[in-house]
């Protein structure tokens, strides 16, 4: 394993927060190395420290008192260069919960380091001042909508201003088309089932999901209603905390989890539905996040047991067959936090295969990460682009008209790849296609 430079004076400093580290899960690793070929960063860089096994070594060596490696910038580089895609979990014969461990390690790192002032500003702004507050997100995304709607974006691009803005200008290219802000206000707290009500389901509309992919949320509610569900979408719900957990902002993630647990406990629903893979993985792991909380540990366990991805739920029930035909070539990209984080693989395909006329084309390495990984394409742009290039090669080979994938970050990342390569393809959530089939409309018209 690559040597990390140590500084003797750092070795004596106490490490704060190691009580949250799950040693029993860490001890499950047998160091067999079967995870290495599945790890995107190891495949790209060939470094043991950029593999799951190497990262586990670093965690153990840093958090144990008898064999310390200092938590420094080198340590942080390897821990944060992980995509948290969890492909290693699927490959692991010992069932190591690597995702939970790397998220705990990042939380411990943040407790033991002093970030530069600019870094602290952006972390606080995004994770504490924006994502937890729906009203502030509404305001920000309405400004973004105006920026696009009034032609300011076109003008900024035409004048080459973005090129002068460096990394910030590059990030602007990731900004998707923002839907009309009024759309999200059409989502009601209660949507009745069509016909006989067979289920009472809660729906998590999400934070960024509800701002950027409002149409997918509306499609999800329509599909659930079509399948005999009374749908409860509480306005008091908030961000699930997935981005917070992935980036070591554990205290805020716990606050958000408590709120969501309380909100949905009051609704007495049979199941709770989510249509975003990354959010779903975190919501199903509230039990692990809250295991040390004497008040919420049991409540979190109940909450997590009710969580279902939309495709998972539809595969469990007797789904109503759509009558509308969609004569399009579709390939399916598997979001990491769906196939690896939640072990959901056949269910989205079952949804797509239920649509009359649809030709499903299998994607080579469909389970391989696209490089989006939450905000990874912002924090690790070079590595993200290398991983995306691998994905786009296989997507281009399918000659599909539509790429279906069930996570907002994956949709945005693959849209960037499609645009850069000039491919005549549209990226959609599988539930959008099913909704089109129920409504008998062509998704490309």
Q: What is the CATH number of the domain that holds 44?
A: 1.10.1060.10
**Quick one: how many helices (H) and strands (E) in the chain?**
26, 9
CATH number, residue 414: 3.40.50
Q: 309 and 382 in one domain?
A: no
Could you list the residue range(s) of the whole structural domain that residue 414 is in?
Answer: 329-439
242 within some domain: yes
Q: 295 and 374 in one domain?
A: no
- Report the candidate in 389, 397, 420, 375 with the shortest Cα–Cα distance to residue 44: 389
| Contact between residue 30 and residue 94 where contact means Cβ atoms under 8 Å apart | yes
9 within some domain: no
Q: 80 and 181 in one domain?
A: no
Tokens of 349: 């395909």
Of 293, 320, 347, the last residue of a domain is 320
Q: 365 and 285 in one domain?
A: no
Count of domains observed in the chain? 3
Q: Which residues contact 181 (CB under 8 A, 6 or more apart)?
A: 138, 141, 142, 145
Q: 316 and 193 in one domain?
A: yes
The DSSP code sequence of 339-387 is HTTS---HHHHHHHHTSTT-EEEPPTTTTS--S-TTTHHHHSHHHHHHH
- Report the candidate in 288, 252, 378, 299 with the shortest Cα–Cα distance to residue 104: 288
77 within some domain: yes
Q: 148 and 41 in one domain?
A: no
4 within some domain: no
Q: 382 and 314 in one domain?
A: no
- DSSP letter for 399, please: T
Q: 404 and 360 in one domain?
A: yes
| Contact between residue 336 and residue 345 where contact means Cβ atoms under 8 Å apart | no
Q: How far apart are CA 117 and CA 79, in angstroms?
A: 21
Q: 124 and 89 in one domain?
A: no
What does the pLDDT read at residue 11? 47
Of 303, 320, 337, the last residue of a domain is 320
Q: How far apart are CA 382 and CA 376, in angstroms?
A: 10
Q: 155 and 293 in one domain?
A: yes
287 within some domain: yes
7 within some domain: no
228 within some domain: yes
Averaged over successive runs of 10 residues, the pLDDT of the chain (445 residues) comes to 48 77 96 97 97 96 76 93 98 97 96 93 95 96 91 73 61 80 96 97 96 97 98 97 97 98 97 98 97 96 98 96 97 98 97 98 98 93 96 97 97 95 97 98 95
Tokens of 240: 């699930």
Burial status of residue 262 (CB atoms within 10 A of its CB: 0-12, 13-18, 19 or more) = middle
- Measured in degrees and rounded to the nearest 5, phi and psi for residue 28 equal -70, -20
5 within some domain: no
Q: 176 and 99 in one domain?
A: no
Of 320, 338, 365, the last residue of a domain is 320
Q: 262 and 392 in one domain?
A: no
pTM over 0.85? The answer is yes
What does the pLDDT read at residue 46? 96
């Amino acid at each position: 394993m690559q040597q990390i430079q140590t500084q003797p004076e750092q070795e004596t400093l106490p490490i704060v927060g190691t009580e949250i580290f799950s040693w029993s899960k860490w001890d499950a690793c047998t160091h067999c190395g079967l995870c290495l070929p599945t790890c995107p960063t190891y495949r790209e860089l060939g470094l043991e420290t950029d593999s799951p096994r190497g990262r586990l070594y670093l965690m153990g060596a840093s958090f144990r008192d008898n064999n310390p490696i200092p938590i420094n910038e080198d340590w942080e580089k390897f821990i944060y260069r992980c995509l948290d895609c969890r492909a290693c979990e699927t490959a692991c014969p010992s069932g190591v919960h690597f995702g939970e461990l790397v998220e705990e390690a990042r939380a411990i790192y943040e407790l033991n380091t002093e970030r530069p002032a600019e870094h602290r500003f952006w972390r606080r702004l995004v994770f504490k001042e924006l994502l937890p507050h729906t009203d502030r997100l509404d305001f920000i995304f309405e400004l973004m909508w105006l920026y696009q709607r009034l032609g300011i974006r076109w003008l900024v691009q035409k004048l080459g201003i973005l090129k002068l803005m460096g990394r910030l200008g590059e990030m602007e290219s990731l900004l998707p088309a923002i839907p009309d802000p009024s759309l999200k206000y059409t989502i009601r707290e209660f949507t009745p089932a069509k016909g006989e009500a067979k289920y009472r389901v809660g729906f998590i509309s999400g934070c960024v999901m509800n701002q950027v992919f409002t149409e997918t949320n509306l499609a999800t509610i329509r599909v659930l209603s079509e399948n005999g569900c009374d749908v409860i979408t509480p306005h008091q719900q908030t961000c699930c905390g997935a981005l917070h957990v992935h980036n070591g902002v554990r205290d805020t993630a716990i606050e958000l989890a408590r709120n969501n647990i309380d909100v949905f406990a009051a609704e007495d629903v049979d199941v709770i539905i989510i249509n975003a893979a990354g959010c779903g993985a975190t919501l199903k792991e509230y039990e692990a996040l809250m295991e040390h909380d004497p008040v919420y540990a049991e409540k979190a366990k109940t909450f997590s047991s009710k969580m279902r991805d939309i495709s998972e739920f539809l595969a469990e029930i007797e789904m109503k067959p759509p009558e509308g035909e969609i004569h399009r070539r579709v390939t399916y990209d598997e979001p990491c936090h769906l196939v690896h984080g939640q072990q959901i693989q056949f269910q989205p395909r079952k949804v797509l295969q239920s649509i009359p006329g649809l030709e499903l084309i299998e994607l080579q390495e469909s389970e391989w990460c696209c490089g989006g990984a939450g905000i990874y394409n912002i924090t690790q742009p070079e590595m993200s682009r290398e991983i995306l290039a691998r994905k786009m090669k296989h997507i281009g080979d399918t000659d599909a008209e539509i790429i279906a994938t069930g996570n907002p970050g994956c949709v945005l990342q693959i849209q960037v790849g499609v645009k850069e390569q000039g491919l005549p393809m549209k990226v959609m959530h599988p539930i959008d296609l099913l909704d089109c089939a129920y409504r008998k409309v062509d998704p490309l018209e």
